[in-house]
Amino acid sequence: MKTFDVASQFDFVGAIQNIVPYGEGHINDTFLVTMKDSSTSYILQRLNTGIFKNYRGLMDNIRKVTQTLKNIVVNENGDPLRECLTLINTKTGEPYLVEGTNCWRAYVFVKDTSVYQIIDSPALFENTGEAFGKFIARLDGFDAAQLCEVIPNFHNTVDRYDKLMTAVEENKSGRKHNVEKEIDFVVKRKDMLSSIVTALADGAIPLRVTHNDTKINNVLIDKATGKAICIIDLDTIMPGSLLYDFGDSIRSGCNTALEDEKDLSKVDFDINLYKAYCKGFLRGIGSKITRSEIEMLHLGAIIITLECGMRFLTDYLDGDTYFKTDYPDHNLVRCHTQFKLVERMEELKDEMIEIAKNSII
């Protein structure tokens, strides 16, 4: 079915004028749909069902969460068409369209917004931190157990460790002799890796709705106000800990170099950006965060960064079967940048703890 024919199945206002590819995403196929007789535009997406095999569960998660957010924004006298994603049903009333092996969905396009690919100032990072904090706060009363695990064990660091040890034992790539130091780096931190998983299981920290892809380019910035107004890309919404989302923002945002920088002297942890994000995040989440979560914020950053490095190392040992690589040691280079960040955060741990305490509103 052609894209126009697919778009025609959705309950858009007006007649379709144009459909063009949109955005810089690498997983789903995204199109901007403009209308002849309506000022409203739409985003049409074809999900990558090769990655998201349980697309029905994924879409059910998004439907539940976006409806909850819409009700909350309305109660706050906000604008639900700008402050949260709005799903458009098909003309038969379904929240998505299945066409062969394809799954399509549509959202209202949030106009007059910008998406940033890099953090160009502490103020921008603070702004996005507030947006993600508010996102979690708004969903504080939502029963996260209602959601399916779109990617099972995604942030189960105990499982990630076991997978790494299996990769070490099997040594499919024959590269084990190259990474004895890296393997030892992880083994020495085995006990720390289970901290969040154990805290969730014991009820020491609450199970929450987590976004699981909290990079800066998943926040829409209002062009008029410069404020972050809407969290997008909800495909990995799942039950988890806010420490995962906080940690992933810090991992991706506070690195002073590229993720695959070969020169490790360029890789450092920007403590000023950490301070900015903490300030925004804690302002956004307000009273909805628990004392235990505040005390573990630094640990979330360290563990998620270590997890990412472990994933690169596992793939390197397995023969580069998951992440795309441009050269033979690409995954190992990526692993090194993450482990360097872990070391720097461990050195700055006390300062990170104090920053979190002092950022509480």
Domain with CATH 3.90.1200.10 in the chain: 122-358
How far is residue 5's CA from residue 163's CA, in Å, rounded to a whole number? Answer: 43
How far is residue 25's CA from residue 47's CA, in Å, rounded to a whole number? Answer: 11
What pLDDT sits at residue 37? 83
What pLDDT sits at residue 361? 65
Tell me the CB-side half-sphere exposure of residue 145, using CA atoms within 13 A: 2
What pLDDT sits at residue 342? 98
186: amino acid identity, one letter:
V
Contact 86, 108 (CB under 8 A): yes
Please list the residues that pair with 239 across neighbouring strands: 209
DSSP symbol at 229: E
CATH code for the structural domain at 3-111: 3.30.200.20
77-103 pLDDT, tens digit per residue, is 999 999 999 999 999 999 999 998 899
Domain with CATH 3.30.200.20 in the chain: 3-111
CATH class for the domain made up of 122-358: alpha beta
pTM of the complete model: 0.94
Going through 166-308 in order, the beta strands assigned E by DSSP cover 208-210, 219-222, 228-231, 238-240
| Lookup: tokens for 315 | 């793939």
**pLDDT tens across the length of the chain (361 residues):** 789 999 999 999 999 999 999 987 778 999 999 999 888 999 999 999 988 999 999 999 999 999 999 999 999 999 999 999 999 999 999 999 999 889 999 999 999 999 998 898 999 999 999 999 999 999 999 999 999 999 999 999 999 999 999 999 999 999 999 999 999 999 999 999 999 999 999 999 999 999 999 999 999 999 999 999 999 999 999 999 999 999 999 999 999 999 999 999 999 999 999 999 999 999 999 999 999 999 999 999 999 999 999 999 999 999 999 898 999 999 999 999 999 999 999 999 999 999 999 987 6
Backbone dihedral region for residue 152 (phi beyond 0: left; psi -120 to 50: alpha; all else: beta)? beta
Of the candidates 340, 301, 331, 337, which has an alpha carbon nearest to the alpha carbon of residue 313?
331
